Amino acid sequence: MKARARIIVSGRVQGVFFRDHTRRWASSLDLTGWVRNLRDGRVEALAEGDKENIEELVNRLQQGPPLAQVDDVDVSWEDYKGEFKEFRVTYSDFW
């Protein structure tokens, strides 16, 4: 089943290659969407694809890359729209 999820990750998640790891993980799971830094130090991702693969991405984000410290992962499920062709790192919300 296709799904879409907005994922907010809190903790020490900026400056530790978190976005790049997220992009690589999502791409390996055939997900599309984006990931970006938020002004308040959190990271936001929007992922589309098979629901099971999004759930696997969320599991990986809960662990984070080696230098990260993840405190919380909040997931909001949305209707699938199919609007992306790839998964990429986008500009922060404060650029």
Catalytic residues: 19, 37
pLDDT, tens digit, 9 for 90 and up, residues 40-91 = 999 999 999 999 999 999 999 999 999 999 999 999 999 999 999 999 999 7
Q: Are strands 87-89 and 43-50 parallel, antiparallel or unpaired?
A: unpaired
Question: Cα separation of 56 and 53, whole Å?
Answer: 5
**Considering the entire predicted model, what is its pTM?**
0.94
